[in-house]
Structure formats: structure tokens, C-alpha cells
Amino acid sequence: MTTDNQQDSMLSALQQYLQETDFAHLTAVDQPDLTALFSDLAGLKTEVKAESRQFKATLDSLSEAVETLKTDNQALSAELAAANERVQQQRKQVERGMLLELVDIYDRLSEGYKALQNYRPVDTLFNHSKKQDVRFIESFTQGQEITLKRLEQLLQRRRVFAVDCVGKPFDAHTMTTIAIGNDSRFDNAVVLEELRKGFLFDEQVLRLAEVKVNKL
């Protein structure tokens, strides 16, 4: 009996709550403002396009800057290479001039050495000092020979080598003819004598050899 009364009481309270409660605000859902939404989307799209154009312009500027830098680097590299080539040519010209002076000194020492080798004391004069003179000349000749060998070594360290020409066929690239001989023991156009030594520097002619050539 008590349970039925409680149920009736609960149903009455529920019915009263339903009658008194306004559920309109629960079913009334706010509808979005489509015009404002489309306007915002259009503004966002425009902003994205503007940002994209600005980004593209920045990339183009960077690409141009990179190309300009690349071109400048290539021009600078070419200019440096040309400058280095000029310096090398100038250095080689100066070196050739110095080597020619050394070769000239070599010629003078060589002629002096030959003169000392061909020296013969006179028997009828200065007999009292003949032995001393001979020893002096021999000692001086040895000194000249040592000096010549050292000068030859110096030239070789500088990549300068004498032209081998005696007994060889005449070579217009390394020799010049200043005398003609006629010796049937040798073939035509063979070098009979070296009148002035020629030299090569880095396998290029530093000075032509002056030679006597056989002509049958």
C-alpha cells in the first residue's frame, strides 16, 4: 500500500515538472551566419594568396641573387686564373732573363777553362819559375773546372740542360748554322762542331746552339 502511494506521488511530481518546464530553449539551436562565414573564408583566401605571392617573390629574389652570385664567382674565378697566368708568364720571363745571364757567365768560364787546358809553358823563358807557374796554372784550372761543374748543377736544378748536338742531325728547332764543313766521314746535315752551346729550359729553347754543319 505504501509503495503504490509512493509511485503515485512520484508520477504526480514528474507530471507537474513537465508541465511547468519550458523546453523551447533546448530545441532552439543557433543557426550559423553563412554570410559572415563566407566573408571570413574569402578574406582568408585573399590573405593566403597574398602570402603566396610574397613568398614567390622572395624565392624569385633569392634565385636571382644566387644566379648573380654564381655569375660573379665565375667571373672572379676567370679573372683570378687570368691574373695567375699573367703572373706565371712574368715570373717565367724574369727567370729566363736570369738564366740567360747565368748561361753567359757559363760561356765565359768555359772559354777560360779551355784556355787554361790548352796552356803550355814557354821553355826558353822564365825557366827558374817554370815549375811554380805550371803548378799554379794546374791549380787554377782545377778551380775553374769545379766552378763550371757547380754552375752546371745550378742550371740543372733550374731545369736548364745543354743541347746535345755534336754528331747529331741538324735540328732547326734547337740549333742555328753559322759554319759549313765538308767531311766525307759523316752524313749530310750532321753537326760537326759546336761553336756555342745551346740550352733548353723546361724542354723549351732557352738559347739556340751555334753549330758547324756538314755539307757534302
Give the pLDDT confidence of 161-183 residue by residue, as tens digits: 999 999 999 999 999 999 999 99
In this predicted model, which residue has the larger pLDDT, 66 or 33? 66
List, for residues 67-120, the tens digit of each pLDDT value: 999 989 999 999 999 999 999 889 888 999 999 999 999 999 988 888 888 877
Average pLDDT, the chain: 84
The full 3-state SS of the chain, as one line of letters, equals: CHHHHHHHHHHHHHHHHHHHCCCHHHHCCCCCCHHHHHHHHHHHHHHHHHHHHHHHHHHHHHHHHHHHHHHHHHHHHHHHHHHHHHHHHHHHHHHHHHHHHHHHHHHHHHHHHHHHHCCCCCCCCCHHHHHHHHHHHHHHHHHHHHHHHHHHHHHHHCCEEECCCCCCECCCCCEEEEEEECCCCCCCCEEEEEEECCEEECCEEEECEEEEEECC
pLDDT reported for residue 98: 93
Q: Determine contact, residues 208/198, Cβ cutoff 8 Å.
A: yes
pLDDT reported for residue 206: 94
pLDDT reported for residue 25: 56
